[in-house]
Every structure is written in structure tokens, then in C-alpha cells.
Structure 1
Amino acid sequence: MNKTLRVLIVEDSENDALLLVRKLRQGGYEPVFERVSSPDAMNAALDRQEWDIVIADYVMPRFSGFEALILHNEKGIDIPFIIVTGKISEENAVEIMKAGAHDYIMKSNLSRLVPAIERELRDAQVRRAHNRLVNDLTAATKQWKNTFDSITDFVSVNDKDFRFVKVNKALSDLLGMKPDDLVGKHCYELLHGLDHPDPDCPHIDALRSGKTVTKETYNPKLKRHLTITVSPVIDEKGGLEGTVHYIKDITKRRMAEEALRKSERGLKEAQRVAQLGNWQFDLINNGLTWSDEIYEIFGLKSGQFKGTYEAFLNMVHPEDREFVDRSYKNSVINNTAYDIVHRIVRPDGEIRYVHEKCEDIKDETGKRIRSIGTIQDITERKNLESRLIDLHKMKALDQITRAIAHDFNNILAALTGYGTLLKMKRGKDDAIAWHVNQILALTDQAAGLTQSLFSFGKNQIFTPKQENLNEIIRKTEKLILMLVGKEIELKLKFTDKDLFVTADKGRLEQVMINLVTNARDAMPGGGLLTIETSLVKICNDLSRPHCVGKPGKYALVSVKDTGTGMDEETREKIFELFLGAREIGNGIGLGLSIANEIIRQHNGFIDVSSEHGKGTTIDIYLPLVEQAVEEGAVASVGEPIGGTETILVAEDQANVRKSIKTVLEEFGYGVIEAVDGKDALEKFSRNRDRVQLVLLDVVMPGKNGKQAFAEIKKIRPDTKALFLSGYSLDDLHEKGIYEEGIKLLQKPVSPQDLLRKIREVLVS
């Protein structure tokens, strides 16, 4: 069957035009053509419809092929233009090619016509695909800049010589200059009013260490308290080319902290004589006495304390001992109050934080005769303060990353759609196919990164499928190496058998990251981390506390470290949120709790063995799938399915909407576009008898997808719907626009998956 070819023929001779049409038919085309022989007729034909190619005679009585080429160029259209002539000089041939003609064919050699057309059609298709990708990349770059400038904190990229390379709007507004005017200026001049870098600048530390550096400082020029986080920028060769500065104004927080400290001082002074634990030091006889409460805090029985200042210092943490001694002696010398926080070490080795305060008592002559004070155990408060700060940081970071991930998902959705269509159209053996496959593979990796952002501490749609556990762990090896650092040796041991399990790959990767992070924190001085897989058979009733599976075959992942280990009391509480036994600064106690919940969702369980000082082994058991689905069977079922139904597509992101429309029309569907929920409702009202399915973005300005569908069902209750969203399931729950049971796909979704789901909904 001949291929349809829309041809605009610029030719004064009808016979010559018919000769060209005959040649095209002989070459496998079915021309849909129009013959014109004047500028007005050609101009009207180009405006009236789209053409695949323009063929023009070079010599005509009232209109030349060169004039037709100029008119074609002025239109700014990307349509191949071929000159056909009986005779042309070499000089004229060069002139028309320079003017933009794609080829010229001698009438005496029309056998070249069809191959030339085929070549130019291919080249035009490649150009258009390239332009689409360039436009998408431009849009993504613009979106990145908008996000960069939307950050309310101060952000800049600096080169190694302290010069600004990029500056966000917040920082340029702070300095009262345009971003472009700041580029090339030295940061120490504009931010600090100095003519040379400060030796204590975190930029210097980050470049020297190659690691992220965070410092709190007061900037006299700006009159602000700041937290400055500086991260090194690595070039393609692994060298340092500069740093990224993230500066947060904490002035209000510091003022609030200072106000809080003043309030606490007033409150504690009022409670000074309360039973917190009081002590008295006789300066004349060097005798120290404690109340019963202080014995309790220090883990001693009454009478065990020797009652001297030296005995007290021996119970202070070695790292704090000099500070405590100096603080007390300075208060004596300077006749000032004594108000400090420090650590103590109890006889059982437990470390506690205490808040200690004292004042001097003088006789009638003004001579100091004794010191009295209180000690309060504030260990739990310190732990909670640290965790609360971490939680606030996590929440802020989570909001930023999720907003960026949502917008990036929309861009990836369009790239995936256009890229897949380009792959289908080019064919497996096409020269550009390899490049298209690389683009799609990188797009898929980027989609995995955004899903990782969504999975952090949030509930996603649980999408299990058969996965090879060995392959999941192999693919996380690079990330694990980055997490553990060079001080820890990593060993991976895989069973030689494939371990197929029914799992959500993203969630299992999250479990591995949590466990590896815990193992790393347990080995601050370095050590050995071993991750091993095996196949085991369990025959008992799995009666251990965290065992919820059934007897049978299991895939086992063992994560072993040579770290500090845990005592029995800690082991019993490791799956609790905010595990109290963790040291301050080593996280907020969420990792194992989340990991345990994820494994329970997979009908598996976690078992832990550990001894204090002898490391920890965490075993993850997942039910084994005896018969893995063959890849060929999956592929045959998974071929994209088209249809002839009419689908209403409501999506506020134009690039995503256009890519979905292109995919659906490519596979036979009729498409009605809507730019938001209100537009979707209006267009459904006008086309209620034509639309078989509404495809709705969940979050849109004005009416969201849920609201629009509720109104649509009032018009036609039997209307079927499929929802799309770049947000996570948990985010949709928080926005109050998700209901259990609705059919939902998360962006980016491949054209194949979208078409299969549409078909599934239509035939359900």
C-alpha cells in the first residue's frame, strides 16, 4: 500500500506536474497534490494546509523556482524544498542551494526524485524531534531558574577565587543589586565589607576538605545572624571548581533563643530552692555535701560520695572536666554567677547531661564562706531538642525537594512521551535509535530520583511486582559506597540463585539505605560492612516479636557491621520511633521503624542480633516467589494497546498535555484538550455524548481533578475516569483531594503504561 504524501507542486505545465506525480507513485507514494504557478496561489496553498514537501520548477514564464524558494523561506516553515529543472547552470545551482533549497533534480534524471524526497523527509523528522528536545530542555532550564529564584534563603554559586558565578533573587535583593551585576564580584567585599577573604571563611574550609561545611556566624555588615552551609562543586574531571553557598538568616531565631534564655533564667531563679537536687560547698573546710536527689542523678547511693570537690570533678565527663573546673574557679575569682551545662559519667557508664547553677554566700564582712547550687538532669530535654531541630530541618527540606520533584516529574512526563514516540517512529535499526534509548534511560533514572525524594518519610502508592532481590542490591551499590565513605570497607556476597520476590523496588531501596546509614553511624572509626543474600527455608511458626510471615522459603538479606553493637534493653526498643538510646547527633530514630513497617507491607519480617561492642546483624526475610514471570511473557502482554474512543485530557502543564495528546492520537484515540478543571467541565458539557473517558491531572488551578470529576458525574453518572499526578499519595491525602479506590497513575508514566491503563479502565 502506497504511503500518502502531501505535495505542493510549483509548475506552470500540467503535463510536467503529472509526470512528477507518476514518478512519486512509481516510488511507493500516493501523492495528495496541488499545482500552483503564481506567488499568490502558492502563498494561499501554504496557508490553507500543511504539506510534506514542495517541488518547484526552476524556470516558469511568470514565476521562477528561485522566487518560490524565497516565498517558502519567508513563511518560516520547515518543509523540504526541491527544485526540478530541465537545465541549470552550476552558478545558479550553487545560488539556490545557498538560498535554502534542499536539493535540485534534473528532469532528465527523475530517478533521483524519490530517493531525494525520502532523504529529506527523514532529515526533516530528525530536525523536528531535535527542536522538540531543545525546547523541552529550554523549558526545564527556565523552570530550574524559577525554582532557584523562588528560594527565600540566600543562595549563590562561587568560583574558587571567591567570585559570584550565580546569585538567587533573595541574595541580590539583600545586597541591593541585580543578579547579573553581582557576577564576578568578590563575596567578601559585598557580604562582609572586607578587602580580603576572612581566614575562617567556610568557603576555604570546603575547598580544602572537599566536604560540606556549615557554620553559624554574626555578620556585622549585614547585622544578621547567619547559618552558612558551603558545599564543594566538582567538575567533570573530579576537580574542585567552586562552591555552593546556602545562607539562612537565623536572626529572629537567635533573638527568640535569647529571649527564651532570659525567660528561663527568671523562671529558674524563682524555682531555685525547689527540690531539683541541691548542693553546698564549704569554702573554709573544703567540704561538699549533696541532697538525696543529686545522688539519684549521679547513680550513687547515699554515703558513696567522698564529699570533696575533686571527687565531684572525677564524675564529670573527661571532655568537660576542664571546662567545669575553669567555670567554677572563674566565678570565684570574678565574683560572678556560675551557670553551665555539662556531662557526667555514672558508675554504670551511662552519660547524662546536667544543668548546674550556683551562687556564693558571704559573711557580714563580705568574705565568701560557701557556695550553694542546684543540679538538674536535662538529658531527655537535650535529646528532644536535638531531635526537634532535626525534624524541623527535615520538614523544610522535604517541602522544598517535593515541590521541585513535582515540577520535574511534569517535565519528565513530557520527555518520556516524546522520546518513546520518537523511538517507535525511528525503528530499532535507525542510526539515531541508540541516542534515543540513552535519553529514555536517563529520563527513567531521573524519574527514579524523584520517586526517591517522594519516598523519604512518606507513604507512596504501594506498587509491588516481581523483582530479583540480588539485582536491587547490586543497583544500590554505588549509593551505598557514597553513604559509608572510605573509612568503611564494603563486602557484597550474593547467592548464585536468583531470589525473586514480590516487592516495591523503591521501598526496598529505602530500607537498604536506612540500614546502611545505621550501620555507618555505629562505626564512627571505620569498620567492615557486609551485605549478603541467601535462600532459607523456615518451618516453625515464626513466633518471634517482629516475625509476621508464614513458614516456607524466604529470600534473606543480612546486613552486618562491626560497630558498637547494642545491649538487650536497646534491642527491645529498636523499632520504636525516636529511640531514646541513640546518641545525640546520630539521627532522629526513624530508620528502623520505617524499615520494619515497609518489610511488614511485603509480608516479611526483620530479625536483629547484636551484642554491646560486638557489632550488629540485621536479617530481612522476604517470601520467595517460586516461579518468576518470564520476561517474554511480560513483554507480549505489555505491548501498548490503542483504540478509537474519544478521551478528554485535562492537564494544566502544556508540555505534558501536548505529549499525552500526541501519544493518544498516535494510537488511534480522539482527544479533546482542557487546560484546567473548569475548562474540562465546560468541554465535557459540550461533548458529553462523545467522551468515553476523562483523563484528569489531580492538582490543577481553580477546580482540581477531583472537583471537576464530581461535576462531570452529575452531567453523566457513568463517565469513566483515570487520574494522573506528579505528587505522592501522601501529599494528595494532605491536600484532601485523594479518595481510596480511584484509578491513579503517578508521573512520569511511560506511553506504554498509560495506554495499558486507559484500555483497562475503558473495558472495565
Structure 2
Amino acid sequence: MLLSLPIAEQVFGYTAKEVTGKTVQEMHTKERVAPERFEKAVKNVRAHGEHRYMFTQEHEDGIHYFDSRVSGIYDAECELVGFALFIHDVTKRKQAEAEIARLATVIEQVAATIVITNLKGDIIYANPYFETSTGYTITEALNQNPRILKSGDQDDSFYKELWDTITTGNTWKGVFINKKKNGELYHEEATIFPIKNAAGEIINYAAVKQDVTARVQIESERDATLKALQESNSRLGETLAKLKETQEQMIRQERLAAVGQLSAGIAHDFRNLLTTIILYSQMSLLAPNLPPTLTYNIETIISESKKAADLIQQILDFSSSSLLQVQALNLQTIIQNTMNILQRTIPENIQVSLKTMPKDQSSEFIVQADSGRIQQMLTNLATNARDAQPHGGELRFELSHVEITPNDTPPIKNMPPGKWVYLTVTDTGVGMSEKVRNHIFEPFFTTKEVNKGTGLGLAQVYGIVRLHEGYIDVETKLAKGTTFHIYLPASDELRENNNTKEASTVPQGHGEKILLVEDDENLREAGQSILESLGYRVLTARNGQQGLIIYKTEKNIDLVIADIVMPKMGGEELVHELRKINPNLKALCITGYALEKNADELQEAGFLGVIHKPFAVDTLAQVTNRTLNANVGRWI
């Protein structure tokens, strides 16, 4: 060991002075870090150039998370002469990720109405409690002005004062007298404020509102009582004390209710929520004569919910090496979809374009990839390009096919022969110096101001490319701009899959009887509705014990769909008991957790397949149909 930084003392237990001259194996004798971990890293560095892993350690102030990278050190002849071990304490980042997840859950579960509008005042977001407080569904409210709640009991000057306050960048507080969908009047205590971008420009308005009808009624009753008591001048002190006590009790009840909702939201299974959102949204799409705008909104909800699921998966499994959910994708389609999303974040003075070569629209750029990760890669590159040209410019995506033969010199060192999908991402921004260029893929390296960037964006891009067995390089000139060159292994699988998919339809049931066992009530009801709409007869149970009773009572149940993790009796134990009754049982498992067991073990337990939460209607329909038509004991 030639050089050690202070973090090494945290990890290995040696000071910088003690570690100098020691081998890594000698350092591991204190068993702060398992020796076999570094030995594995050495093998990977020799084979691939570097090795990444994450580990945790318990310190006096709690568990710390460390992100480690072992890289090779090469001499002028490119011979491996040593190893460099980089260790970053990412505890704060992990804590921040957990905090973001908690805050997202709070917004969805808090017992208060939260609404976001555009600059015209049209609603673009409302949390679930909006439906409880107004009687309108979220889909009914989207793109509507909040004046749909207007009761007429407050004059134009009231609303003018509100708009004058928030449009000048200030916060407005007050009480609305609004009208629910059923015509019932109610009072809402509201705080409305502008949302500003980094430049201080107002881009949206947000409102946090609490139904205080009960409190207002109490206050009104108190005022009436006080007036009557003043006239009669009797029992004034006793009545006032009682009213005050009643008011304080109501406030305490409201506060406790909010805390209860908050606690439930934090504890709730976020994946169950996303599954319910996706299923009900897809059910809504089946309604006849939907307006195009509403159809687009619902499809956006589904799309964004799936992305949220991808984000949750990445947060939960950040340190895993098996995060990728690979499928055949058309990279051109992914870029186009990402460009549509980027329109909301890329300023209008930056022109975004996509060019394909050849220009033949039938040409496909197929790769085996994880769509969520690829979109994250594109988003990070686009964000980097945006920040590099604050006064406007261009952001160009270009796609082409490249084939490298064994006799060719590869465009990037160590890139093997084969067919590649070649993507370039170019900006016309400020560019980078050679010194900066040499470090841009290193974690936590950033040239931005404090609190303006984490230094993880391009490091994440590099990791995503490498996870897909791809290669990345960068070309840049100061004051001219930057181009990232990305090569991903080409595939031709999607063309065949697309033809099959286009020719197929969502399979329907024929009255088969299905027992659905799921402990989450909303998801259970959504699943029942979907399966019944597909033509199945559905029985439901909230846990394995209840499911076992129903199965023994009912006759001719064709399929059991059971959640793996449930109170009292889980899905695996349930299927084990049911196979004692019916050895030819057909069963599917559904789960929102990362499965420790592989397909063979689940098949041995009696399942024919698994559905991962969150899932969509077509996934449930296809897997259910295949399972019903499969032979017993055959994994689908």
C-alpha cells in the first residue's frame, strides 16, 4: 500500500501511517473487510479493468454505507502494475433516498388535500385525499380549474386578492367556502403558494388544504351561543369553558387523525399502491368514448407509475448486481419517449433533435436492455447538456448501426468485434478541459457549485452502459461543446416479438373459477375487478387461512393466485396445504418483494409462475391464461 486516505482508517482500522507498505491481505487481518471480497475484486480487475461493490459497516453513529471501486494501475506499456481502491461513504445519499421515498408516501397518504396547478390555474395534480374531501375523482379534476368547487358564497374581490398575492410570488392563506360534487358546502383552510424554478420564475401553484367544516361549525355554534348568553347574562363562564374544551378536543382529533394517516402511509407497501394505480387506470381506459385528453392523461399516469416502480426498485436494490430487467427494446422509441418527457425540463432555448442513419423509418435500433435504466442514462446526459448551455443551444441525439470486424480497430479500447447500436449525444455548450474530461465518470466529481449537483449523474451513465455490456467515451472542446459516444450490443429480437404482439389480443376467460388471495384490500378488489372483466369467476380471501377455508368449501376451483407474504399464512404455505387436497393444483404467486428463491424452487413449492408487483392488466391476463392452459408442474 503506497497511499491511504482518512476514510481507510474507518474501513480497515489502520491509520494512514500504519497502512503504508502493507499489503491489502495484511490489512484484512483485522477482519473489518472480508479478504475474499478484495480477492474477487482483483480477479475482476484483471479480467475487466475494474470492480464495483457496495458494503455496510456498523459505526458508533449507526450503519454506514460504502461504495467501492477497485481499478487497475497500468504502466506505459499498459501492463497491470498495481491496484487503486476508491471508497466513498454514501451514507448521506442512502439516507436522502429513504427520505425522498418517505416524503412521496406522505403526500399520497396525508389526510389533507394537496393540489398543483399550471399558471392558468388548471389542476395538473391532486393527491388521493382530494377525492375524499370533494367527491370528485382525480381523473374528473385533472385539467379543470379549481372553480369547479366554487360555491358562490365568496365574491370576486376574495379571489382577486388571492390571485394578486400568489402571482406576485407571495403566499396566500385563507378559508374557502366550497361546494362538493354532491352540492354539499364545506370549509377549507388553505395555504396557496407559487412554485419557482432555479431562476426564480413561477412555474406552478400549489395548495395545501384541510377540511375545517367541523371546526367552523363549532365556532359558529360557539358564537351563536355566546350571543344568546350575552343577552341573557347567565351561565356564561360554564358555556364558554365547554365550547373551548370541545374546540380543543376537535383540534386534537384532527391532529391525531393526520398523524395516524402519516404513520400508515409510511408503513404501507408502496408497490401495492402502484399496482392498484396501474390496474384501475387501465380499467378506466376500457371505458367507452373517453376524450382523447383524458385517455392521454390516464396513459401518462400508467406510464409514470411504471417509472415510479422502476425508481423504487432501484432505491431498494441499489447495491444488487441483478437490478436489470432486460428485454428487447427499440432504442429510437426510448429516446423519442424520453424527449417528450424532457420537454418539461429542457428550456425552450435549447433545441432538441433526434437523427437516425439510415433515415429509413423502418430501420430498428434493437438492444437488450432495461428500459428504466436506459431512460435514466438519457435523462442524465440531457440534464448535463442543459447545464452546460445556460444561454441556449442544441442537444442532438444520433443513432446508427456499426459493425466491427476482427480486423478493424475498435473505436473504444477493448471493444470486441460484433454489431453495435451507436448513440451519440451532443451539446453545443461550454465544453470541458482535458483535466475535467479525465475525471467526469468518477463518482462525486463535479464542477458545479455547492448544492447544484452531486457528481453522480455521469458516473451513473457510465455504470448503466457497462451494466449493458456497452462502451462509452467522450469528446469535448472548450467553448465548442461535448459529444458522448455510446455503443450497445445490437439485437434483432424485437422485430419477431413485435409481430407476435401485434397479432395477439388480451386473452379472455371462459367462466373459470379463480381464488385470489391477497392481504391488501385495494389490490385485492382491483385484481377481482380485472379478472371478472376478463370473464373469470373470482373468489377472494385476505390471507392464506381464509383462502384454505374457501378452497375446502368451494368446488371446482381452477386456479389459485396468492401473494407470497401475508399475515397468518403466506402463499407458499397455503399452496403446500392445498396440494395435499389437490395434487393437480394450478397456482400463481404474486409478490412485491425481491424473491430469494429461483423458479425451480417456486415450481417445487407448487407454483407454475410468478407475477411481480406492480403489474399491468395485460400481464395478469396473459399469465393467468397461460397458467390455466399449462400442464401441471410445468413452469410458465
What TM-score comes out, normalization by structure 1 length?
0.43
User: Does 1:745 pair with 2:612?
Assistant: yes
2:327 maps to 465
Distance 2:267 2:349 in 1: 29
User: Does 1:231 pair with 2:195?
Assistant: yes
1:279-678 paired onto structure 2 within 5 Å? 406-407=272-273, 409-417=275-283, 420=286, 432=288, 435=290, 443-456=298-311, 458-459=313-314, 462-495=324-357, 496=359, 497-539=363-405, 550-626=416-492, 628-629=495-496, 631-636=498-503, 640=507, 642=509, 646-652=513-519, 656-658=523-525, 660-661=527-528, 664=531, 671-678=538-545
| 8 A Cα contact 1:640 1:755, kept in partner | yes
Cα distance, 1:470 vs structure 2? 1.8
Give the direction of change, closer, same or farther, for the CA distance of 1:458–1:244 in structure 2 (3 Å limit). same
Distance 1:606 1:693 in 2: 48
Q: Deviations over 1:705-743 (max 9, x none)?
A: xx3323442553765543335x5xxxx34xxx7655462
Cα distance, 1:635 vs structure 2? 3.6
| 8 A Cα contact 1:677 1:708, kept in partner | yes
Give the direction of change, closer, same or farther, for the CA distance of 1:559–1:592 in structure 2 (3 Å limit). same
| Runs of at least 5 residues in structure 1 that lack an aligned partner in the other structure | 1-145, 171-179, 190-195, 208-226, 234-239, 248-395, 423-431
Cα distance, 1:558 vs structure 2? 0.9
- Length, aligned pairs only: 405
Counterpart of 1:243 (choices 199, 205, 230) is: 205
Distance 1:155 1:185 in 2: 21
2:29 maps to none
Q: Deviations over 1:625-647 (max 9, x none)?
A: 24621643334466626477643
Give the direction of change, closer, same or farther, for the CA distance of 1:548–1:626 in structure 2 (3 Å limit). farther
| Runs of at least 5 residues in structure 2 that lack an aligned partner in the other structure | 1-104, 131-148, 172-190, 210-261, 318-322, 603-609
Cα distance, 1:551 vs structure 2? 1.8
Distance 1:160 1:637 in 2: 43
Aligned AA (1:447)? I
Aligned AA (1:455)? D
Distance 1:183 1:471 in 2: 49
| 8 A Cα contact 1:410 1:653, kept in partner | no
2:626 maps to 759
1:264-279 paired onto structure 2 within 5 Å? none
Q: Deviations over 1:435-459 (max 9, x none)?
A: 4998776544321111222333743
Cα distance, 1:562 vs structure 2? 2.0
Aligned AA (2:387)? D
Distance 1:577 1:534 in 2: 29
Distance 2:129 2:390 in 1: 40
Counterpart of 1:716 (choices 569, 579, 585) is: 579
* Structure 1 ranges of 4+ moved more than 6 A: 156-162, 166-170, 180-186, 196-199, 399-405, 436-441, 541-549
Distance 2:437 2:118 in 1: 48
Cα distance, 1:412 vs structure 2? 3.1
Give the direction of change, closer, same or farther, for the CA distance of 1:402–1:527 in structure 2 (3 Å limit). farther
1:178-257 paired onto structure 2 within 5 Å? 204-205=168-169, 230-231=194-195, 243-245=205-207
Give the direction of change, closer, same or farther, for the CA distance of 1:440–1:152 in structure 2 (3 Å limit). closer
Cα distance, 1:517 vs structure 2? 0.8
| 8 A Cα contact 2:272 2:520, kept in partner | no
1:132-211 paired onto structure 2 within 5 Å? 150-151=109-110, 204-205=168-169
Give the direction of change, closer, same or farther, for the CA distance of 1:637–1:560 in structure 2 (3 Å limit). same
Distance 1:638 1:595 in 2: 37
Give the direction of change, closer, same or farther, for the CA distance of 1:608–1:692 in structure 2 (3 Å limit). farther
Secondary structure in structure 1 of the residue aligned to 2:168: helix
| 8 A Cα contact 1:548 1:600, kept in partner | no
Distance 1:592 1:402 in 2: 33
**Higher Cα Rg, which structure:** 1
Give the direction of change, closer, same or farther, for the CA distance of 1:655–1:577 in structure 2 (3 Å limit). same
Secondary structure in structure 2 of the residue aligned to 1:494: strand
Distance 1:513 1:401 in 2: 31
2:95 maps to none
Distance 2:293 2:455 in 1: 40
| 8 A Cα contact 2:575 2:587, kept in partner | no
Distance 2:335 2:129 in 1: 42
User: Does 1:680 pair with 2:542?
Assistant: no
Give the direction of change, closer, same or farther, for the CA distance of 1:154–1:713 in structure 2 (3 Å limit). same
Secondary structure in structure 1 of the residue aligned to 2:389: coil
Distance 1:759 1:738 in 2: 24
Cα distance, 1:649 vs structure 2? 0.5
Give the direction of change, closer, same or farther, for the CA distance of 1:415–1:205 in structure 2 (3 Å limit). closer
| 8 A Cα contact 2:511 2:535, kept in partner | yes
Give the direction of change, closer, same or farther, for the CA distance of 1:542–1:713 in structure 2 (3 Å limit). farther
1:110-121 paired onto structure 2 within 5 Å? none
Aligned AA (1:205)? G
* Same amino acid, percent of matched pairs: 25
Aligned AA (2:369)? A
Cα distance, 1:593 vs structure 2? 3.0
Aligned AA (2:621)? L
2:34 maps to none
Secondary structure in structure 1 of the residue aligned to 2:572: helix
Distance 1:161 1:750 in 2: 35
Cα distance, 1:679 vs structure 2? 2.5
Cα distance, 1:516 vs structure 2? 0.4
Give the direction of change, closer, same or farther, for the CA distance of 1:470–1:232 in structure 2 (3 Å limit). same
Distance 1:451 1:598 in 2: 19
Give the direction of change, closer, same or farther, for the CA distance of 1:485–1:607 in structure 2 (3 Å limit). same
| 8 A Cα contact 1:155 1:245, kept in partner | yes
Cα distance, 1:520 vs structure 2? 0.8
Give the direction of change, closer, same or farther, for the CA distance of 1:435–1:468 in structure 2 (3 Å limit). same
Give the direction of change, closer, same or farther, for the CA distance of 1:740–1:498 in structure 2 (3 Å limit). same
Cα distance, 1:522 vs structure 2? 1.8
Aligned AA (1:592)? L
2:607 maps to none
Cα distance, 1:483 vs structure 2? 1.8
Secondary structure in structure 2 of the residue aligned to 1:456: helix
Q: Could you say what the CA RMSD is over the residues aligned between the two structures, in angstroms?
A: 5.4
| 8 A Cα contact 2:534 2:621, kept in partner | no
